[in-house]
Structure 1
Amino acid sequence: MSKRFLYGATKVEETDGAQAPVASLETFRWKSRVLVIFADRDNSRAARQENQLLADRTGLGERDMVVLKISGSTVKSIFGAGGNLNEGALRKELGAPETGEFGAALVGKDGTVKLKVSEPVSNGELFAIIDSMPMRAAEALKPDK
């Protein structure tokens, strides 16, 4: 079951976490939140999303983020360590848009999909969603964060 929200002009699906963990991202489980960007045909929206995210590397780091970009059959790490990941498995497990269509999916530290968007999402919107998660709230209370 998912909830649909409209943030500005961005269609957002925020899931309730009832689905199974994403097996192909198991190495990140309980360590990092992963945002997977699926590049559009001309790369315009993916590049906009990527540049926007990288403008706040501190915010990404504070939230233990890894950002990956899938373009064609290539998985590239944009922020954080990406490792050797299978593009086909990621597309299937994350319910990716058709090849050549933009999309992004946020996977929480518990390994489940927390958010799917069909348009680039602002850092403020993304960080607000992450910051509203119980695990992130607990992290913010720790003195070392």
Structure 2
Amino acid sequence: MRNLTLLIILIFYGMTSKAQDLQQYQWENRIIVVYSNDTELDLVSKQLDLLTEEPKELSERKLILIQVHSNQYKTIFPENSEWVSSYLKDKLKISVKTEFEVFLLGLDGGIKLRQQEIVQTEKLFSLIDGMPMRKAEIRRKDQ
């Protein structure tokens, strides 16, 4: 009985930690999620290359870049990490039929952009710079 109780606790702990994958960044960072059902998809490498070519711009906007594939994810920016098991695909409600999708999550954790094609950095940065919290960050920086 004691082993069963321990097993149940471990299962629930694992589920809780998976649910907190993105919550750890809320109110601290904006998140770009690049999803694909195939890690070798050309769109993925193009999108990741496009974004990682501008590390200063990503840092200035407090951006974390995450790649999601199936039920796993890894951080690409600011530091590359190993693949980690996760339910982000389910949390973001990504369809089984979806091959490629890019998300922008705001500081509040809400989805600000959802697009099934490559997102140009100009569009992304312009969208972020138009957000009220980002405008406040810019004002504070200029003072």
Same fold (TM over 0.5): yes
Bigger proportion of residues as helix = 2
Number of equivalences: 123
How does the TM-score come out when normalised to structure 1? 0.74
Q: Check the 8 A contact 2:21/2:86 in 1, yes or no.
A: no
Displacement of 1:67 after TM fit? 0.3
User: CA 1:131–1:86 in structure 2 vs 1: closer, same or farther (change >3 Å)?
Assistant: farther
Separation of aligned partners in 1, 2:21 and 2:113: 17
Say whether 1:30 aligns with 2:34.
Answer: no
- 1:75 partner letter: Y
What secondary structure sits across from 2:24 in the alignment? Answer: helix
Q: Check the 8 A contact 1:38/1:104 in 2, yes or no.
A: yes
How does the TM-score come out when normalised to structure 2? 0.75
After superposition, give the CA deviation of every residue in 1:112-142 in whole Å (9 maximum; x if it has no partner): 1111010010000000111110000000011
* Corresponding residue number in structure 1 for 2:41: 43
Percent of aligned pairs with the same amino acid: 28
* Corresponding residue number in structure 2 for 1:11: none
Bigger proportion of residues as strand = 1
After superposition, give the CA deviation of every residue in 1:15-60 in whole Å (9 maximum; x if it has no partner): xxxxxxx854111011000011002534210110000001111100
Q: Check the 8 A contact 2:74/2:80 in 1, yes or no.
A: yes
| Structure number with larger C-alpha Rg | 2
Displacement of 1:71 after TM fit? 2.3
* Corresponding residue number in structure 1 for 2:93: 95
Between 1 and 2, higher relative CO (CA 8 Å, sep ≥ 6) is seen in 1
User: CA 1:30–1:62 in structure 2 vs 1: closer, same or farther (change >3 Å)?
Assistant: same
Question: Unaligned stretches of 5+ in structure 2?
Answer: 1-18
Which among 127, 130, 140 is matched to residue 142 of structure 1?
A: 140
Separation of aligned partners in 1, 2:77 and 2:117: 20
RMSD: 2.5
User: CA 1:74–1:23 in structure 2 vs 1: closer, same or farther (change >3 Å)?
Assistant: closer
Displacement of 1:74 after TM fit? 2.8
Question: Unaligned stretches of 5+ in structure 1?
Answer: 1-21
